[in-house]
Amino acid sequence: MEYSNSGTLFDLIKTNKNLPIPMIRVIMRQILQGLSYIHSKGLIHRDIKGGNILLHNPIGSGRVILKIADFGVAKTKTGNGVNIQVTVIGTEPYMAPEFILGDGQEKVNADAKVDIWSLGILLYKILTHEFPFKINSLVDQHQFMANAVLIRPWTIADNILWDLLQKMLQFDRNKRISAADALNHQFFTGKQAEREITIEQNQLSQIAYTALTNGDSTVTQFDTKPTFVLPLTIVNKIPNLYIGMLNKKINKFKKKYKIEKHQMKNQSREKKKKEENQTKKYQNRRKEMKNKERKILKKMKELKKKNQIIKQRNNQEKRLKKNKGRKEKKMKFQQNKKKKNQKEKQKNLRE
């Protein structure tokens, strides 16, 4: 898979406790579109979670595209894919009931709807920042599956959204909605969804359409649809988030470095009082500490470099936008000049 430059959906969820519903709508639409395609090709992912959904911003596009990653545990369906033997694998909190209630069997009967359950759990987590069950142990999760009761949290006020979530988290896989049917749900096709389409989404989709007609292979037919477009301006916290995370790591290493240095000084004072045999141990320890120092400093440099790369990318995008604006102004000026010249010629001809 090609490089993705804007982190993961997990990063976004972790730092934004209240994502707006229109943004959630676009995120879910893109993921479901991806799952629908995967399932149509006879694949089951089996490990859908926030960390496996990558965010990518094609430079200069103003759009953010979600990509499903980590197909290391994906399963190819056989036959009609309705009832096949699937190895129980994935991330436990996101596993479907057919996996959890398999009574320890290595393989169970399952289909592509295990991915829909996992995505439903991910949607629940986006909305509430918790799982619909306690995650102290697999026993708690097993009990939740056995009871087959999904309680509506007070934080989910949107009835249409709750209806979609219930259909995705159906304990009976035969009643669970498919990716293709989910895309036709009222949450994506209703009047509210249409009203929430912004001017920016329309503009970005029009730019994508122009690029597609000009033969840009990086643009897909979905990028030309306003309902599919996730503007970068909405997700602009991600670069700042990365810078913040990198700064936190740098500060963490600095603190660790100071503590270890202080400990080293204390140990040196104590060891000077001890016998000559212990001085050798101190020298060895000192060498180890210096090696640790070098490693910490090296990591700090790497983190600073990453920080600089992110800043450079942001500056590059700003420059591209400025240049684009200047070109558009120049073109408008030239067009107006041509029109004036044509009018003057027409006047002269009439005279």
Judgement on whether residues 67 and 211 belong to the same structural domain of the protein: yes
Judgement on whether residues 199 and 128 belong to the same structural domain of the protein: yes
Judgement on whether residues 283 and 213 belong to the same structural domain of the protein: no
Judgement on whether residues 181 and 321 belong to the same structural domain of the protein: no
Tokens found for residue 200: 């920016």
Judgement on whether residues 155 and 245 belong to the same structural domain of the protein: no
Judgement on whether residues 63 and 142 belong to the same structural domain of the protein: yes
The pTM for the full model equals 0.64
Judgement on whether residues 186 and 313 belong to the same structural domain of the protein: no
In a domain, 4, yes or no: no
Q: Residue 316 CB: number of other CB atoms within 10 A?
A: 12
Domain boundary at 235, 254, 285, which?
A: 235
At 147, the pLDDT band (50, 70, 90 cuts) reads confident
Alpha-carbon 112 to chain mean position = 21
Instruction: Please say if 47 is a catalytic residue.
Output: yes
In a domain, 351, yes or no: no
Exposed/middle/buried for 284, CB within 10 Å: 0-12, 13-18, 19+?
exposed
Q: Determine which one of 47, 111, 115, 223 is catalytic.
A: 47
In a domain, 301, yes or no: yes
At 246, the pLDDT band (50, 70, 90 cuts) reads low
Judgement on whether residues 221 and 316 belong to the same structural domain of the protein: no
In a domain, 272, yes or no: yes
At 343, the pLDDT band (50, 70, 90 cuts) reads confident
Domain boundary at 197, 219, 235, which?
A: 235
In a domain, 346, yes or no: no
Domain boundary at 203, 235, 267, which?
A: 235
Structural domain of 260: 238-339
Which helix (H) or strand (E) segment is 56 a member of? strand 53-56
> Using one digit for the tens of pLDDT, what is the confidence trace for 61-84?
888 889 998 876 555 654 444 555
Judgement on whether residues 33 and 142 belong to the same structural domain of the protein: yes
- Total structural domains within the chain: 2
In a domain, 350, yes or no: no
Q: Which is more confident, 1 or 38?
A: 38
In a domain, 347, yes or no: no
Largest CA distance in the chain: 114
Per-chain mean pLDDT for the chain: 82
CA distance 116 to 48: 9
CA distance 117 to 290: 50
Judge whether residue 270 has pLDDT over 90: no
Judgement on whether residues 62 and 165 belong to the same structural domain of the protein: yes
> Using one digit for the tens of pLDDT, what is the confidence trace for 79-131?
444 555 455 566 788 888 887 776 555 566 678 899 999 999 999 999 998 88
The domain that holds 70 is classified in CATH as 1.10.510.10
In a domain, 349, yes or no: no
For residue 277, the model assigns a pLDDT of: 76
Judgement on whether residues 185 and 327 belong to the same structural domain of the protein: no
Strands 65-68 and 75-76, bridge-based pairing: unpaired
Residue reference for tokens 């503007």: 231
Judgement on whether residues 103 and 231 belong to the same structural domain of the protein: yes
